[in-house]
Every structure is written in structure tokens, then in C-alpha cells.
Amino acid sequence: MRTIGFRSNVLFILAAAFGLLAALGRPWYAPAQAQLPSEAGIGDVNGPIEGFFSRLGREVSSTGGTKGWDAFTSTDTILSVLLAIAVITALGTLSAATEQPCREILRLVTLAMLGIVVVKLVNTPDAHGLVERRQGAWIALGVTGIMVSSASTLYAAPLTRRHSGPSLNEYQPHLVAPPRSTTFDSPGAHVPPVDRY
């Protein structure tokens, strides 16, 4: 199976960075839906499992709610700064002079972004009445996961070696054919001709 190339992982990180910016413009949280009086008929089950799946359906499909830029006081700024660092270091990995330090910084920054998104996904701002997640938070989780995966692949890739000498196309070694070995010849099987003139 063919693996994704080095430059393709850099492109994935750049695309995921734009995806995270777009996710901050989507709704992240919303107030809980008002509980309707249960009018369960015969055969209807109204329990926590059904409530969980209906809530999950609202989290994925509902477009109403508080956007990421409005829901946070400083987290959106922190994510934006880390995002800028990730884009710069991802581009820096393409240069052999800055490849190694940029790989390490990129890996740490993407892990930090994923950690922040996971914390904000789990810890909803209940004090403001926003207790349900929305699709922006799930999109942010997906794109930061892609960034961490691509950054880990770049971190594990072998470093580009800088060549100071001529390239392989320019270097032409002088090859000399070794003399023929007669070790495995039977005695008298091959006698080289002698030049008598």
C-alpha cells in the first residue's frame, strides 16, 4: 500500500488549518432543548438511551447555537495563534535548513490544539446555559485530529540530507574491471592464448 508523501501531509495540515478557522465560525454550543411532557404510547420507550441519540442528532444536524468566536473569551485567540504557528512550521518543514526544529514545534503545537478542542468539547459552558454541543465542535475535533496525524507522520519521516558535493548525475566514477578469476576452472580447461609476436 502506498503511503502519503511528505508534501501531501503538509497540504493536509494547511487544509485542516482552514477547516479549523471555518469550524470556529460554526455553532459550538446551544442551550438544552426544553423537555416536553412525556406522552408515550403503547410500545414507545422514552429513556436515557433515546434521549442520548436525539441529542446526538441535534448536535450533528442543528445549525442554531453560539459560534466558536462568540462562545470563548480567550480560547479562540489561543487557537488562532497556535494555528498560525502550525502553518508557519508546516511550511518550514519543506526547507532542509529548518526542517528538524519545525517538525518538533509542529508536533507539539498540533497536540496542544487537539487538547484544547477536546477539553472544550467535554467541558461545555454550563454557567451560560450552553450545555449541548453543536457541529462546529465536532468539526474542530476532526480537523485537529488530521493535523496531529499528519504532524506525527512528518515527525517520524527521515530527515532530508543536504548534499555538499556533486549530485549523482554529475558524479561519474572511474570503474576498472577486475581481472578474471580462475578459481573455479577445472585444470587445463582454459588456457589463455599467448601472444608470440
Tens digits of residue pLDDT in 24-68: 888 888 877 655 555 555 555 555 555 555 556 666 666 677 787
Mean pLDDT check: name the lowest of 12-16, 22-26, 32-36, 81-85: 32-36
**Quick one: what percent of the chain has pLDDT higher than 70?**
66
- pLDDT tens, 126-138? 666 667 788 888 8
Contacts of 24 (CB under 8 A, 6+ apart): 67, 68, 69, 76, 79, 80, 136, 140
Residue 1 pLDDT > 50? no
Look up the pTM and report it: 0.66
Q: Measuring CA to CA, which residue among 118, 116, 110 is closest to residue 77?
A: 116
What are all long-range contacts of 179-183, with beta carbons under 8 Å and residues at least 24 apart? Answer: none
pLDDT band at 166 (very low <50, low <70, confident <90, very high): low
pLDDT tens, 97-120?
Answer: 888 899 999 999 999 999 999 998
Q: Indicate the length of the chain as a whole number.
A: 197
Q: How does the average pLDDT of the chain come out, rounded?
A: 78
Which has more pLDDT, 77 or 30? 77
- pLDDT given at position 128: 61
* Cβ atoms of 31 and 129 closer than 8 Å: yes
Q: For residue 181, what pLDDT is reported?
A: 76
Instruction: Between 147 and 188, name the one with better pLDDT.
Output: 147
